[in-house]
Structure 1
Amino acid sequence: MRNKCKQWLRDEQGSQLIEFVLIFPLVWLLIVFSFDQFTILYNRQKALAAAYEAGRIAAVQPNFGLAKYHARERGTAELDQGMEVADKEVVLELDEGGWKKGNHFKSEAKITFRLLATGALYELSESYHMMIENAEDKK
């Protein structure tokens, strides 16, 4: 009996299958984690680009209404290129002083998406502060 146990432990037949069964779940977790991290980084870059594009187009509009409209259109078009997008929003916030040349505003892009590994929702928000370059002079 003792010799059979020693012989069974020394036998290498089937060892590759056991190694595969033990290592494959770790490799799979690494791959899925990599996809999640890539999705987060890619969507963060898209949110940053959307906030910048929204602010850039809004800064040259003559009034706040047009600025909000064009910012939403340009920013949403950028966010549409994100991965697994569940929800998106582009918002302009005006600082004190109103829509006047030289005043500042903030453009913010928010994106919500699902992660591959857990299916959980993940939300990102990026913003830019910009100066109004072209505003109507109201006299």
Structure 2
Amino acid sequence: MITRMGRVIRTRVKDERGSQMIEFILVFPLVWILIVFSFDQFSMMYNKQKALAAAYEAGRIAAVQPNFGLAKFHSKQRGTAELAQGIGVLHKDVQLELDGNGWRKGSHVKAEATVSFRLLATGELYEITESYHMMVENAEEKQ
């Protein structure tokens, strides 16, 4: 009887039929967390790159406009078009700020792009702001 029980226990210990299923059940949540984390990181980095590209485009377009009104209009148009290519964008905005010298050749303008979106894992709102400084190259001379 004891030897028969020993044989049964030994065969059950050596039997590996359910081990792969148990490994899968234990490892799958870790793999899922890794996948969700990588989606969050990718969306943050991609939207950060889009915000930087939008600020760069807005600043570049603004620097060659003859007056501040046109610069504001065209930079907002180009910047928001760039931000619209982001992942899951909820809010996008592009602003121009002048330094204290006004709109004239040689003064500086700062383009600021802001994008907000929700993260996949937590669902919380995440906002990225990037800025780019340019020198005004083509301002009209006042008569």
Structure 1 gap ranges (5+): none
Q: 1:75 maps to which residue?
A: 79
Aligned residues: 139
Alignment-derived partner of residue 40 in structure 2: 36
Q: C-alpha displacement at 1:6, in angstroms?
A: 6.2
The one-letter code sitting in structure 1 at the alignment partner of 2:141 is D
- 2-side partners of 1:5 and 1:59: how far apart? 81
* Aligned-CA RMSD value: 1.6
* Identity percentage of aligned residues: 68
Pick the aligned partner of 1:90 from 74, 87, 94.
Answer: 94
Report the secondary structure of 2:102's partner residue.
coil
Quick one: distance in 1 between partners of 2:14 and 2:110? 69
For normalisation by structure 1, the TM-score amounts to 0.93
TM-score (norm 2): 0.90
State whether structure 2 residue 31 is matched by structure 1 residue 24.
no
In structure 1, how many angstroms separate the alpha carbons of the residues matched to 2:136 and 2:44? Answer: 31
CA distance in 2, matches of 1:51, 1:8: 65
* Structure 2 match to 1:115: 119
Amino acid at match of 2:70: L
Instruction: Compare CA radii of gyration and give the structure with the larger one.
Output: 2
SS in structure 2 opposite 1:23? helix
Question: Where do 5+ consecutive residues of structure 2 fail to align?
Answer: none
